[in-house]
Amino acid sequence: MKVLEAKFVQDFITMCNDGWLQGWHERNGGNASYRIPEAEVESIREDLSFDAVWTPIGTDVPGLAGEFFLITGSGKFFQNVIRDPEASIAVIEVAENGSDYRIVWGLRDGGKPTSELPTHLMNHEVKKRVTNGQFRVIYHGHPVNLIAMTFILPLKDEIFTRELWEMMTECPVIFPEGVGVVPWMVPGGRAIGVETSKLMEEYNVAVWAHHGLFCASDTFDNCFGMFHAVEKAAEIYMKVASTGKPILSTIQPEGFRALAKDFDLTLPEKFLFEKEN
């Protein structure tokens, strides 16, 4: 079948457009990728072409040798993904050496995969290993409120997790592992990918200070939903902080422990510290 007829491609396009509608993707901001299951690769193989040159990824991902990914293009606008998918996104193949890739479909007018390709692929490599192949979606965007939080809170996993959890009761249910925080770094290279993928060993959410958010999950819906929940909690945080009023009540560590019991969650104790007033 044609690539654009495949359901996973349609779902990917919908996810990108939903993110655009949420305001997470000014200009070319943000990028997304999907590790395509073998059967889905076979379903579109007749529409792929294998004569593009191999190009260095900029890092090594031996755990992804031979895998195919659907991925947004560098400099492409999320708002255009739905209007002209063939020019905005690509299918790429990772070489058997785990260091090179080639474009096998898409980016019709030229271009290359997102500049965050090293981070996407290093995150995929970690998630493939630690979830037994279940996690396939990595999503990056620039959500306003979460970015704002990174200017006024210490850039610590414990602090960000605890504040986000307190903002909305469902948060610890949606991301019980917590969130990791990467201090500001130059984007688009291997170094930020190394730091982010280290966090992905433990978390499904990585905050990039003064930049944005990365989420990893099994399905498009779960990945998008997690991103949405994190940003909504951040919006509540920023609204409360903007009032300048003292917080009179919030969810206490005992409340989180009770929630964990009833919802059968494991909430790491490192996030349930006693706050100093």
Q: What minimum distance in Å lies between the beta carbon of 115 and ligand 13P?
A: 3
Q: How many residues bind Zn ion (CB under 5 A)?
A: 1
Site for ligand 13P in 201-260 (CB under 6 A): none
Catalytic residue check, 42:
no
Q: Is 29 in the site for ligand 13P (CB under 6 A)?
A: yes
- The site string for ligand 13P over 114-133 (x = CB under 6 A, - otherwise) reads xxx-----------------
Q: Which C-beta is closer to ligand 13P: that of 187 or that of 255?
A: 187
Site for ligand 13P in 32-91 (CB under 6 A): 72, 74-75
Q: Which C-beta is closer to Zn ion: that of 180 or that of 212?
A: 212
CB-CB contact of 142 with 29 (8 Å): yes
Partner from Zn ion, ligand 13P, none contacting 115, C-beta within 5 to 8 A by type = ligand 13P
Options 116, 166, 195, 235, the catalytic residue:
116
Give me the residue whose beta carbon is nearest to Zn ion: 212
Which alpha helices (H) appear in 73-207, and where do they start and end?
Answer: 78-81, 85-88, 117-130, 144-152, 157-167, 171-174, 190-200
Question: How far is Cα of residue 61 from the mean position of the Cα atoms in its chain?
Answer: 18
CB-CB contact of 267 with 171 (8 Å): no
Residue 214 CB-density burial (10 A; 0-12 exposed, 13-18 middle, 19+ buried):
buried
Q: How far apart are CA 178 and CA 112, in angstroms?
A: 33
CB-CB contact of 91 with 49 (8 Å): no
Query: Is residue 35 classed as helix, strand or coil in its secondary structure?
Result: strand
**Annotated active-site positions, please?**
116
Binding footprint of ligand 13P on the chain (CB under 6 A): 28-31, 72, 74-75, 114-116, 187-188
